[in-house]
A = this chain, B = another copy of it.
Amino acid sequence: MLKVAICGGSGYTGGELLRILYGHDDIKITAVTSERSAGKKLTDVFPHLHRYEDLTYEPLNKEKLLGKAELFFLALPHGASQEAVNFFFRNKRKVIDLSADYRLSDPEMYQEWYGIPHEFLPTLKRAVYGLPELYRNKIKKADLVANPGCYPTSAILGLMPAIKNSLIDPATIVVDSKSGTAGAGRKSDLAFSYCEINEGFKAYGISTHRHTPEIEQELSSLAGKKIVVNFTPHLLPVDRGILTTIYAKLIKKADTASVLALYLKKYAAEPFVRVLGEGVFPNIKNVRGTNLCEIGLRVNSRTNTLIAVSAIDNLVKGASGQAVHNMNIMMGFDERKGLDTMALFP
């Protein structure tokens, strides 16, 4: 039994990690931290986590935690994660960081978009970007995994086969994403109160969202050259789910069937990516509560454009589920462990 600690366990991603790990029989949760809820029982903060009624939140005392676990999931706010990751990593623990702190390999880009310097460059160099569909082999050997952002997961998986095959003109990529509200975290904030969100819909962070450089880093790496994208997130009146609609001009002759064939081939062995048949498109409701990414696409021959649509559950494939998937790969567990469920529908 692998001893696992969760640092930052009172937010939605922390709660979701706990929910998922309850179904994973190779691990044991030995500590859960929360600064604001230290001393409270988990069930006082998350009544639905009733099977953990013996667990109590503790403060993030790094020295003390070292002795308690072999692997650490960190679901701390951006910035706050830097030092904790470095500490556990330097002390030979496996670390999966759900924050953005170790996702951008270029520390200057990190500083530009997050507004603070990166203080642990040697550790940053050792971090592996935890998108299994791209970096499975590196993750197998990694001690520090930077778990991808939710929007980047949906955008990169939706574009990867097209870019790898040089199908599209990288200068024309549009990534139009729509996310459920849980992605904003669990917090008191008028802008996320029920009556402000319900029956509403809006774009936000147009051209300025922090997931932009993360998407561009990975697409550039796939293309072998610098790519910039138009990325627009929107806020959906649902709890969970991201649907990303992607547009890019084709530079090779292609029709829907041929591009689908290429996507199907690329993802054939992936346990958590489903490429849908021609004329079928994903719905966030069909992946709710699962680690799946579903992808549908069509070639518009009138405009010579590829339109790909991807759907994930932002708390699972976009955060906690992908983190568990990464743990499974790092530890040599069956990749599906804890994640082999189907969506709660309806």
Q: List residues of chain A with CB under 8 Å of any chain B CB.
A: 12, 15, 19, 22-23, 46-51, 172, 174, 176, 178, 181-182, 186-190, 192-204, 206-207, 228-230, 232, 234, 236-241, 243, 245, 247, 274, 280-289, 292, 296, 298, 300, 302-303, 305, 307, 309, 311, 340-346
Measured between alpha carbons, how far is A248 from B212 in the docked complex, in Å?
A: 18
Given contacts A236-B236, A341-B22, contact A198 B187 (CB under 8 A): no
Taking the nearest CB of chain B, how far is it from the CB of A23, in angstroms? Answer: 7
A238–B188 touching, CB < 8 Å: no
A189–B193 touching, CB < 8 Å: yes
A195–B239 touching, CB < 8 Å: yes
Measured between alpha carbons, how far is A247 from B232 in the docked complex, in Å?
A: 10
Given contacts A178-B201, A194-B197, A300-B230, contact A345 B46 (CB under 8 A): yes
Measured between alpha carbons, how far is A22 from B288 in the docked complex, in Å?
A: 16
A303–B200 touching, CB < 8 Å: no
Measured between alpha carbons, how far is A161 from B301 in the docked complex, in Å?
A: 28
A182–B346 touching, CB < 8 Å: yes
Q: Which among A48, A178, A237, A288 has the greatest number of chain B C-beta atoms within 10 A?
A: A48
> In the complex, what residues of B have CB within 8 A of residue A202's CB?
243, 281-285, 309, 311
Q: What are 7 of the A-B contact pairs (CB < 8 Å)?
A: A15-B345, A50-B274, A189-B193, A206-B281, A207-B300, A228-B303, A237-B237
Taking the nearest CB of chain B, how far is it from the CB of A232, in angstroms? Answer: 6
A186–B178 touching, CB < 8 Å: no
Contact partner, A48, options B178, B307, B343, Cβ 8 Å? B343
Measured between alpha carbons, how far is A206 from B321 in the docked complex, in Å?
A: 30
B342–A48 touching, CB < 8 Å: yes
Measured between alpha carbons, how far is A12 from B305 in the docked complex, in Å?
A: 35
